[in-house]
């Protein structure tokens, strides 16, 4: 079962990817993890990626695809995998498809966790972080006992810049511009399935299980 996770930042696709990986005993793979593992192990692909990252440059699509294809060819992916955060663009998607076809394989599901922008902005702007210990809360879903004060260490909570509504909207705009076309791409390929990401986390997962087959 080879799955690509799609969804806007803050839609909860990373959480669902972990739940899928645990339930079906397949690896949850993010490009960040792949980069770190290859750089740590000093592989040729890792060295190439590091040379770009050290210059503050984006790692080229071809190299990212090589890293991903190398990762999904490993033994722990024999029963499938969940790709989280890749591909992000149409060129990455087409390059990945071409590389997988050469290996005689392909993606089974592109799973889109669908959440309207206004829900994401409300969800993310409700987050609060402790300035001292880094604990995270949510003013609605995970409130503190005392408003604005960390339960763990008693320090002040802040709204991080990343979670401010205007910042979240900018990230969503980039997502719609670059990544939204992937939804059309995988829809045309006949492997796109969408779930309503506004539901409770475990309700969303139950919907996913119905799609994947328990």
Distance CA 193, CA 208 (A): 9
Q: Residue 71 catalytic?
A: no
Q: Which of 48, 50, 164, 171 is catalytic?
A: 171
Q: Which of 48, 50, 122, 160 is catalytic?
A: 160
Per residue in 12-32, pLDDT (tens digit) is 998 999 999 999 999 999 888
Distance CA 10, CA 157 (A): 20
Q: Residue 88 catalytic?
A: yes
Distance CA 191, CA 193 (A): 7
Q: Which of 88, 122, 164, 199 is catalytic?
A: 88
Q: Residue 188 catalytic?
A: no
Q: Residue 127 catalytic?
A: yes
Per residue in 54-105, pLDDT (tens digit) is 888 888 889 999 999 999 999 999 999 999 989 988 999 999 999 999 989 9
> What CATH number does the domain located at 2-115+169-212 have?
3.40.50.300
Q: Cα dist. 48→36, 72, 102, 138, 140 in Å?
A: 12, 19, 23, 40, 44
- Is the per-residue pLDDT at 156 higher than 60? yes
Nearest CA among 102, 39, 91 for reference residue 69 = 102
Q: What is the mean pLDDT of the chain?
A: 93
As a whole-number percent, the residues of the chain with pLDDT over 90 amount to 79
Q: What pLDDT is recorded for position 160?
A: 92
Q: What pLDDT is recorded for position 214?
A: 55
Query: Domain extents for the chain?
Result: 2-115+169-212
Q: Which pTM was predicted?
A: 0.84
- The pLDDT confidence band at residue 155, using thresholds 50, 70 and 90, is very high
Q: Residue 123 catalytic?
A: no
- The pLDDT confidence band at residue 9, using thresholds 50, 70 and 90, is confident
């Amino acid at each position: 079962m080879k799955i690509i996770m799609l969804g806007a930042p803050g839609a909860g696709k990373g959480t669902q990817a972990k739940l899928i990986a645990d339930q079906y005993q397949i690896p949850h793979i993010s490009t960040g993890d792949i980069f770190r593992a290859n750089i740590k192990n000093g592989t040729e692909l890792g060295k190439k990626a590091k040379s770009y990252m050290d210059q503050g440059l984006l790692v080229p699509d071809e190299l990212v695809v090589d890293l991903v294809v190398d990762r999904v060819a490993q033994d722990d992916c024999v029963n499938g995998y969940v790709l989280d955060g890749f591909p992000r663009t149409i060129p990455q998607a087409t390059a990945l498809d071409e590389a997988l076809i050469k290996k005689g394989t392909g993606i089974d599901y592109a799973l889109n966790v669908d959440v309207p922008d206004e829900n994401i902005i409300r969800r993310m702007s409700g987050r609060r972080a402790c300035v001292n210990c880094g604990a995270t809360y949510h003013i609605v879903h995970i409130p503190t006992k005392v408003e604005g004060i960390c339960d763990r260490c008693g320090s002040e909570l802040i709204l991080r810049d990343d979670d401010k509504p205007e910042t979240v909207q900018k990230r969503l705009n980039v997502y719609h511009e670059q990544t939204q076309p992937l939804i059309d791409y995988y829809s045309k390929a006949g492997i796109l399935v969408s779930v309503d990401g506004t539901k409770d986390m475990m309700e969303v997962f139950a919907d996913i299980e119905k799609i994947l087959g328990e």
